[in-house]
Structure 1
Amino acid sequence: MLDFTNASKLKKIEVNYQYDKFSWDHPGSSAQLIRDGKPKDAGMVEAPLNEIDQVIQNAFNQKVMPGAVVSVTRKGITVKEQAYGYAYRYLDDQFTEADQPILMKQDTIFDIASISKIFTTIAAMQLYEKGKFQLDDPVAKYIPEFAENGKENVTIRQLMTHTSGFEQGIELYKMRASREERLKAVLKHSLANPPGSKYTYSDLNMITLGVLVERMTGQRLDEYVKQYITDPLGMKDTMYNPDIYLQPRIAATEYQPWTGRGIVWGQVHDENAWALDGVAGHAGVFSTAHDLTILGQMFLNDGKYGKALILKPSTVKLMEQNMNQAFPGNDHGLGFDLNQGWYMDGLTDVNTIGHTGYTGTSLVISPKNKAIVILLTNRVHPTRNTESINQTRRLVARQAADAIPVAIPGNKNAWFAGYGDQKNAILQAKVNIQKPSVLSFLTWYRMEEGSDIGNVEISLDGTTWNELGFFTGASDQWQEQSYQIPEGTKFIRFRYTTDSTVNERGWYVLQPQIKTDQKNIAPEFTSTDWELRNR
């Protein structure tokens, strides 16, 4: 049995991909605007961005969606904005081809579905800044009828973090009623769980929050959002209920005979939002990749874009904090998902914010990397009963993340374990250790905590392996690691294993060498899975 007690020591090397939080000199100055540029202008590598094209093509081949627009922005520079496939292609859910299909364009307008919840939250937080409410105020303080059916203690914060106790949703569109009557049905609806006891993503939370905004302002939600969010930001292609003349620019969605609408095209896809006259706190917003990039940049600018101050920096910071520490895995800020690798993948981080939409949309904002990644698709065209969009979301985020280089000490080539689900990537060297020695190397890693693991192992015979140490989670800096190697060691290997769901940035190993009393030896490592790369 090998004894490795006290065998390792750790030294941090201050080399890493760092970021500079954008700030402005004084309140009257302009905050960073987005512009087009080349990947190198944003400190990115072009090749991974180009591979997004194949990711989308593979999704087309699997019939995940008929069309998409991808946008990647870093440091205020949009390095990729590309359209693929069709905005309108089918007449019904049998995939009957239209006589005059419409190609997707960069400025195609999408029904962004639940990404609309971000707009509702911004509206509410603007009112919070004005002192209209406190986050832990009961909703019923401002909407008295909400107190019915045991909801008197539900707070505004719980609406924003999906911890109110509401079930996922109810079928408002089946009610023969007006918008006002349907909203009253939500406000009177009972809870499925005690407030604060469980995380359940629910449209009812954000519908209620939208009502709160309307009650406090005296404006319908779409009017408020236009006046105080989209117009000041110059988001000219963002709206509720787009005019009919815009239909050729809009991505078609689902064939819905149950709502009597046929192919839904230019109207909100979500049945309940449609039943609420197209204006609701949970859905209803239409937008473009460009406009959503402006929204994302506003958050990276701490609430400001150009001359427009939408939110205070302190409010943005508050919105980006994890409010759901009691529900691990369901990290959530105010209106935002946090740290959700199932669609953020390589950009996953405790501070990464974002949201998805049922129509096939996703928005990822990474403050650490100053990056915004947007995937807009019409994956429900002509039916929602298709392959999941989540793998495509992940892979687009992964390629965007991989385009952000990891700074390697000395600009040298390091071994990189690569990406992939259910990986077992092995980097191995044959050695001949004749006296106790030390294995040393530099390493950098960002892995899914507890699920993706990097092991350092040795063997005397190539069959039985003993673990020297392991890595998981994130290092955030290059580290120098060393382990004692006993006499008789014949093989050394680095083994990287992943689960089936999330990759982050992976594992790097630089300059592995054996140190003896007399000399340093650089073993010859080989692998079919690992690669040498300079980023």
Structure 2
Amino acid sequence: MKNKFISLTLACALLVSVFVAGGGKAAATAPIVQPGPADSVQMLQQPLDEIDSVIQQGIADKYMAGSVVLAARSGTIVKEDAYGYAARYLDDDFTEMENPVEMQTDTIFDLASITKVFTATAAMHLYEQGEFNLDDPVADYIPEFAQNGKSDVTIRQLLTHTSGFPAWIPLYQTTDSREQAYQEVFSTALEHEPGTHYGYSDLNMITIGALVEQISGERLDQYIQTNITEPLGMTDTMFNPPELLKDRIAATEYQPQTDRGIVWGEVHDENAWAMDGVAGHAGLFSTAQDLAVFAQMILNDGQYDDTRILETGTVEKMETNQLPDFPGNAHSLAWELNQDWYMGGLSEPSTLGHTGFTGTSIVISPSKETVAILLTNKVHPTRDAPSTNPIRQAVAGKTADAINAWSASAMKALVKDFAAEGEFLSDEAAHSLKIHLTAVSHYEDRELGDKVIKHMEGFQSLLDHQQENMSEDAYETLKTNADYLIGKWQ
């Protein structure tokens, strides 16, 4: 038998590692981010390896010039790879640089809207100190915000994108300073009554950034550095990176409209650029590994190593759907929840994540203790490139497959999840599949590889027989994972 189960020692280590800080969990065993083999955290290598071809095809098809992928479970980095180029083109005609810069795993990316979850974390840090309540009117802290019928808009509504704000306004065309930009946002009228409409808006998080500054007396970049990134040791995470780091930074768009040429080493977002590179909606730069540390802090209920950033109860608020009345737009406090269009197979009600316009995304699955990070320079050299959403979805999906196909027991849990989500037309179909996988588990426990293969082939036949009784997604996912599991034992 080629592949055996992980040793009892490693299995016990994995079991201990999930007892993370807070909520009655053992803080001493909270995972930290470090590389390790996939099988040490019950993941198959094959689906992770298949991510390579997904990314390489995306580069060939000009979805992006390059990318970094990181996947981790229980703090163990099971995949961290770089592809393509961090800087390749001189203009939007795809004129090649004489000396293009190859992508590295420690390349620093413009995170774009992933900045929003750091801004929200900064705000919740102040919330813990009793500086505000989520349902307080924003105007209690920023009186100018009350203009044009916004006196009743609450902080919670900003964090959940239910304030009624328009999605965007061109601050870079209408203002000449950071303070002017704030004043224009504060005077902007709503498009919807507060609390009646979900509408993703940069203006919400620009205002949250202003709130952090108003309450703390510090500029947003300084507050995030002092209270989040520096304590976590995220040394490659910053606003306005210095010139000396340019060769480590992924280039973004050719922007003749701002007279900046190829934007490289400064924020891509025009409004954040107009705000001196520091805004609540965009402007933060980081690496895949630094983001993995931040994500592990969330998975550890607010603590990383010996450093606590947020209290357990605060993290729970940031993981809880605040918008049950807006189906399809599940959202916590700045984090998006259960969004299949980029979370793929990791998507479920508890999964949180965010994307960025530059081609970045982060997915965090508390139930699987898993993080999937995809950083690309999709807008290099033009924002007119195809959407990277299918690639985001595939990366998260392959990461999920690596977990779900580890064993028959893992596949049985997947069937149970599909049934709970209504993916089966009959309880009998799900029940028959689970019974079959229970039998396979017994053979796995005894390491009887030939019998595992034989009975998994029988599972495939049963799956084909029951195909009409389940969704296409459930069928294709279970079929793929059955193939992976058979491959593991061959």
TM norm. shorter chain > 0.5:
yes
Give the SS at the match of 2:88: strand
Alignment of 1:392-471 (within 5 A): 392-406=391-405, 444=416, 446=418, 449=421, 453-454=423-424
* Map of 2:450 onto structure 1: none
Identity fraction in percent: 50
Q: Distance in 2 between matches of 1:179 and 1:505?
A: 52
Alignment of 1:254-333 (within 5 A): 254-333=253-332
* Residue ranges of structure 1 left out of the alignment (5+ in a row): 1-16, 417-442, 457-467, 482-491, 510-527
Q: Distance in 2 between matches of 1:53 and 1:366?
A: 22
Is 1:181 equivalent to 2:180 in the alignment?
Answer: yes
One-letter amino acid matched to 2:190: L
Offset of 1:42 from its aligned partner?
Answer: 1.6
Alpha-carbon deviations, 1:292-338, whole Å to 9, x = none?
A: 00000000110001111100011000110000111000000001000
Q: Distance in 1 between matches of 2:141 and 2:112?
A: 27
Alignment of 1:330-345 (within 5 A): 330-345=329-344
Offset of 1:480 from its aligned partner?
Answer: 8.2
Alpha-carbon deviations, 1:384-424, whole Å to 9, x = none?
A: 0011100000000000000003575689x99x9xxxxxxxx
CA contact (8 A) 1:341 1:504 kept: no
* Residue ranges of structure 2 left out of the alignment (5+ in a row): 1-13, 438-463
* Map of 2:144 onto structure 1: 145
CA contact (8 A) 1:447 1:505 kept: no
Q: Distance in 2 between matches of 1:479 and 1:201?
A: 44
Offset of 1:469 from its aligned partner?
Answer: 6.1
Give the SS at the match of 1:232: coil
Q: Distance in 2 between matches of 1:54 and 1:317?
A: 36
TM-score, normalised to structure 1's length?
Answer: 0.78
Alpha carbons of 1:243 and 1:532: their partners in 2 closer, same or farther (altered >3 Å)?
closer
Q: Distance in 2 between matches of 1:177 and 1:208?
A: 18
* Map of 2:21 onto structure 1: 23
Give the SS at the match of 1:329: coil
Is 1:533 equivalent to 2:485 in the alignment?
Answer: yes
CA contact (8 A) 2:164 2:192 kept: yes
Q: Distance in 2 between matches of 1:377 and 1:410?
A: 35
Q: Distance in 2 between matches of 1:371 and 1:58?
A: 25
Q: Which protein has the bigger helix share?
A: 2
Root mean square deviation of aligned Cα: 2.9
Offset of 1:61 from its aligned partner?
Answer: 2.2
* Map of 2:466 onto structure 1: 494
Moved over 2 A (4+): 17-21, 23-32, 405-411, 443-450, 453-456, 468-471, 477-481, 496-499, 503-509, 528-535
One-letter amino acid matched to 2:31: Q
Alpha-carbon deviations, 1:257-285, whole Å to 9, x = none?
A: 00110000001000000000000000000
Alignment of 1:126-145 (within 5 A): 126-145=125-144
* Map of 1:460 onto structure 2: none
Is 1:370 equivalent to 2:342 in the alignment?
Answer: no
Is 1:33 equivalent to 2:58 in the alignment?
Answer: no
TM-score, normalised to structure 2's length?
Answer: 0.84
Aligned residues: 443
Q: Distance in 2 between matches of 1:494 and 1:26?
A: 41
Offset of 1:176 from its aligned partner?
Answer: 4.0
Q: Distance in 1 between matches of 2:257 and 2:179?
A: 22
Alpha-carbon deviations, 1:203-230, whole Å to 9, x = none?
A: 0000000000000011000011111110
Q: Distance in 2 between matches of 1:172 and 1:181?
A: 9
CA contact (8 A) 1:346 1:505 kept: no
Offset of 1:533 from its aligned partner?
Answer: 3.5
Q: Distance in 2 between matches of 1:336 and 1:72?
A: 19
Q: Distance in 1 between matches of 2:109 and 2:420?
A: 32
One-letter amino acid matched to 1:22: V
Alpha-carbon deviations, 1:101-136, whole Å to 9, x = none?
A: 000000000000000001100000000000000000
CA contact (8 A) 2:405 2:481 kept: no
* Map of 1:486 onto structure 2: none
Structure ID, larger Rg: 1
Alpha-carbon deviations, 1:339-393, whole Å to 9, x = none?
A: 0000001000111010000000000000000001000000000000011100000
